[in-house]
Amino acid sequence: MKQHPPIVALLVLVVIACYLGWSLITGSLRIRGVPEPIRRQINPRENWFYMRIILFIFGTIMVAFAWMLF
């Protein structure tokens, strides 16, 4: 039986990757529950703290996804 590629999961990963790329380029990160975006110019330590957490979670999801496909 032929398996179809998980298109929906790929689209979700692409959207998350685009959001992370845009956050890294602009230096502004929006977190739910925080009223103002966290800007790299104003508070670089907090910005990189949240970016490391988000990038770690995204990397873990990517490794799990790659493990399931290959």
Local confidence band at 45 (pLDDT 50, 70, 90 cut-offs) = very high
Find out whether 38 and 47 touch, Cβ atoms under 8 Å: yes
Local confidence band at 1 (pLDDT 50, 70, 90 cut-offs) = low
Sign of CA dihedral 12, 13, 14, 18: positive
Residues 23-39 pLDDT 10s: 989 999 888 888 899 99
| 1 occurs within a structural domain | no
| 2 occurs within a structural domain | no
| 24 occurs within a structural domain | yes
In Å, what is the CA distance from 48 to each residue of 4, 7, 32, 58? 38, 31, 16, 15
| 26 occurs within a structural domain | yes
Q: Which amino acid makes up residue 28? A: S
Q: Which amino acid makes up residue 12? A: V
| 5 occurs within a structural domain | no
How many independent structural domains does the chain possess?
A: 1
Show the domain range for 20.
10-69
More confident residue, 68 or 40: 40
| 4 occurs within a structural domain | no
Report field, pTM of the whole predicted structure over 0.75: yes
